[in-house]
Structure 1
Amino acid sequence: MQTMDNLRSPNERTYGLEHVAVGVDVRVSTLSLVGDECVPWHWHTRTSDIFFCLEGTAVVETHNPGNARLVNVGERYDVPPGVPHRVTPLGGKRCRFVLVQGVGKADFHPGRP
Structure 2
Amino acid sequence: MKAERKREPVKDASHLYEVERRAYHLERPGFRIAELQLSPTQKVPWHSHSNISDTFYVLQGTMRLFLQEPKQEVILQPGESFVAAIGRPHLVTNGGQTSLTFLIMQGVGEYDYVPLV
Same-fold call, TM > 0.5? yes
Give the C-alpha shift of residue 18 in structure 1.
1.0
Amino acid at match of 1:51: F
The equivalences for 1:54-65 within 5 A come to 54-65=59-70
- Bigger-Rg structure (1/2): 2
State the aligned residue count: 102
CA RMSD of aligned residues (A): 1.6
1:76 to 76, 81, 101: 81
Q: Label 1:92 to 1:109 Cα distance change in 2 as closer, same or farther (>3 A).
A: farther
SS across alignment from 1:61: strand
The equivalences for 1:1-113 within 5 A come to 13-15=17-19, 16-111=21-116
Q: Label 1:44 to 1:27 Cα distance change in 2 as closer, same or farther (>3 A).
A: same
Moved over 2 A (4+): none
Listed as ranges, the gaps of 5+ residues in structure 1 are 1-10
More helix by share: 1
Listed as ranges, the gaps of 5+ residues in structure 2 are 1-14
Give the C-alpha shift of residue 35 in structure 1.
2.2
Give the C-alpha shift of residue 92 in structure 1.
4.4
Amino acid at match of 2:88: V
Q: Identity over the aligned pairs, expressed in percent?
A: 29
